[in-house]
Amino acid sequence: MLYFAYGSNLDETQMRARCPGSERVARAMLRNHALLFAGWSERWGGSVASVQRAPGSEVLGLLYDLEASDLEALDRIEGCPWVYERTVRQVIDEHGRRRRAQVYFLLDADPGPPSSEYLGVIQRAYRRLGFDETELLRVALPGPALRRVFVYGTLLAGESNHRVLRGARLLGPARTAPAFSMFSLGSFPGVVPGGETAIEGEVYEVDAATLAGLDQLEGHPRFYRRTPLRLDEHGEVETYLLTPAQVEGCLPIPSGCWRSHRRQRPR
């Protein structure tokens, strides 16, 4: 029987682990439905993908051929019929053929954002499959089309991870209020709230795709946590902070300037 995947099961490695007898059939599209993220997954640390009826909308996905034992395993993993409901829907495969496939729908859950890890799995699958990520990111990262982000370490212009901000608009240099502490974690810095240090950095205007890339790089929300911040020069922005426990025993950077600290380190 056919199964239409649209979430993390687009990752064929994950799908083989969950359903060893499954075979990829074709890319496909579920018409008159829209993608959403809702509920809460302890495993992923955020909301998970589902679909809902939406005339005129389309959900991109992948068709798998499943054995009966694979479908039983998938029901257990998806929590069917208590968390997800499974039903049959008509999809259109990449060759234009109409196919009837099993589709999972999340039951009675409030919308919410997915974790960066979960979204990253889906994004990487979209890229391998040649899917347009625009709608995925619009749904996963609701809010203003453009966000302002304050960076202070390896994302600064000329530093090792600045490539993630390629195409983002630099709004200018910035400095926080003297209410933080900066520490060296070796090849990158971490900033924690509390203290008497003003942190020097830059503010960029980023789109949803770039923000997702930043979240993935920073391990948000499991390592760094993206946190609102107000700057006198740029108003409301977001930045990535650590907790005091994460920097325990690390070298303080009293200047609050990563570039200066990096230049002064012994080679």
Average pLDDT over residues 149-158: 97
Beta bridge partner(s), residue 240: 226
Q: What's the number of CA atoms in the CB half-sphere (13 Å) around residue 119?
A: 33
pLDDT score for 146: 84
pLDDT score for 266: 57
Residue 265 has pLDDT above 70, yes or no: no
H-helix or E-strand containing 218? helix 208-218
Average pLDDT over residues 12-39: 96
Going by C-alpha positions, the residue among 119, 112, 168 that lies closest to residue 142 is 112
pLDDT score for 143: 75
- Catalytic status, residue 196: no
Is-contact 19 62, C-beta < 8 A?
Answer: no
pLDDT one-digit tens code per residue, 83-99: 999 999 999 999 999 99
Residue 144 has pLDDT above 80, yes or no: no
Could you tell me how many residues make up the chain? 267
pLDDT one-digit tens code per residue, 41-77: 989 988 999 999 999 999 999 999 999 999 999 999 9
The structural domains of the chain, ordered by start, are 2-140 (3.10.490.10), 147-264 (3.10.490.10)
- DSSP conformational letter for 132: -
Question: Of these residues, 117, 200, 218, 238, which one is catalytic?
Answer: 218
Cα 37 to Cα 12, 48, 118: the distances in Å are 21, 5, 11
Distance CA 114, CA 117 (A): 8
pLDDT one-digit tens code per residue, 214-240: 998 999 888 999 999 999 889 999 999
85: helix, coil or strand?
A: strand
Going by C-alpha positions, the residue among 244, 228, 236 that lies closest to residue 192 is 244
